[in-house]
Amino acid sequence: MPPQAGTAPYTKFIASDEFKTRFQKASLSILDACKPDGIFLDESGRPIDVCSGIFLINHLAIFHKWDDIIRKTFVQCFMAAEQGVTASGIFACYALAKLAINDVEFDLTQVSKQSHYTTVPSVHYLIKELLDDTSGNLLSSVLHNTGTCGQLNIQTGSKTKITLEVFSGHNFHIGVDPSFCVQSVNRDSALVFLIDGVVESVGEIDHFLRYCHENKCTALIIARRFGDDVISTLNMNFQRKTLDVIPLKVKDEISHLNIFSDLAITTGSNVINDSSGQTIVGFDPRGMVVINGLRCSNKNFSFNSKTDATKSVKNRIKKLKKRIYAEMIQGTMNKEDIDIFLRERINSLSTNSVTLWLPIGSNKTGLYEFISSRFNFGIGVIDGMCKTGIIDIENSVVNNIFYDLKIAFLPANILIHSLFIARNIMTSIKTAGGCIVIEQVGKCAHKHA
């Protein structure tokens, strides 16, 4: 009998043959949806296809009324693959669906031996085949502007249409002190003085100012606040052309909590703060470092990257990306907090970055998730091709698995990893005697027997 409201949980056993039949039916819907002409459309008319990842799986589950355990099996397949190789999730689900329909034997070692180097035209071909025209063109523009080591950010803001903003070098959201006599300064080079605190009086930096005057050098002094007499002195000497010292103010914002640490790594400078053991008065200006290509406004400060800081900067970016991944998995920080505390720091540390601005309200209309998922998929595909080469589908020993996708090749790591995950899950399903389903009104739990 079906479950009744208020009754105890209702348990039934789905035998192996029955589960196999249902699973194969769901598998056919995945294979059809992944064909070039099998595109679904969401409520906004946007395509739901192989680039949509887990959204495609959930859409098919609802549309074809899959049993929830079948949906969860494909979701598990997708997530297991993605944790190992980005963009492999949907191909793992596709391979699992193929294995559910046809029992295909293959040797992954032999498959891996068929990989070979790729070319730039091959990269453009696969992106064109897998992504829709709009997403593909946007991704190509991003890659053209950032190269292979740039940073991509997707934001919603005050733009009325999709816009790309390109930054070269390091870019920090700090600006010239609003009380300084000029609000825009460009210099070929300058010394850097970092003070994670307040410069209360001119007396604290008198030796620094004398050094700059005597050596006729340009310098930036970056602090959280400047006393009135400090700004007055800097203004007067700047206008008289006896000093070329520009004060940059770090606003008292929570997003600037670690900014001096990031400035220190990118410039190679020491920071004067409570834990450094140094004082402003005791600082030796002869130890200051030089940065090049600096551009200062009342909102931003940018400069060219330094070759000797490359390794340290890359290590910090790597740590921040790992933290973002951990926060997203654990759910301890929402997207807005991650953007403020972590992504903004990565943007400043990156030598080349592109921000893709989406119209206001894109979070609510689904455009943000749509673009993000497709960019993540496309970048994963490109990364796989560049790092591991490609495997031609037609000449591969697994051409009967991926041939219906109508693409000439796949990145080697994506193809091999997706087959590995799909085979493991298919083996687990075959060895199970069936499926126990425990149902209750409003709730449903599933276990493999």
Residues 98-150 have pLDDT tens digits of 999 988 888 888 888 889 998 888 888 888 888 877 788 878 777 776 665 56
CATH architecture for residues 171-304: 3-Layer(bba) Sandwich (3.50)
Q: What is the pLDDT of residue 146?
A: 67
Largest CA-CA distance found in the chain, in angstroms, rounded:
94
Write the secondary structure of 143-171 as one string of H (helix), E (strand) and C (coil).
Answer: HHHHCCCCEEEEEECCCCCCEEEEEECEE
Average pLDDT on 382-407 reads 85
More confident residue, 206 or 155: 206
How would you class 380 by CB atoms within 10 Å of its CB: exposed for 0-12, middle for 13-18, buried for 19 or more?
Answer: buried
CA atoms within 13 A on the CB side of 190: 26
Average pLDDT on 284-300 reads 92
- The region of weakest confidence among 19-28, 44-53, 260-269 is 44-53
Residues 182-225 have pLDDT tens digits of: 999 999 999 999 999 999 999 999 999 999 999 999 999 999 99
Average pLDDT on 35-50 reads 75
CA distance 2 to 22: 19
Q: What is the pLDDT of residue 53?
A: 82
- Identity of the highest mean pLDDT range in 121-130, 356-365, 425-434: 121-130
**Per-domain boundaries in the chain:** 10-117+389-448, 131-169+310-383, 171-304
User: Which structure tokens are listed for 267?
Assistant: 């410039």
CA distance 60 to 427: 23
Predicted model pTM = 0.61
Average pLDDT on 373-396 reads 86
Q: What is the pLDDT of residue 93?
A: 94
Q: What is the pLDDT of residue 433?
A: 57
Please name every residue paired with 175 in a beta bridge, in sequence order, or none if there are none.
Answer: 249
Residue 165 · residue 383 · CB < 8 Å? no
- The region of weakest confidence among 96-100, 264-268, 357-361 is 357-361
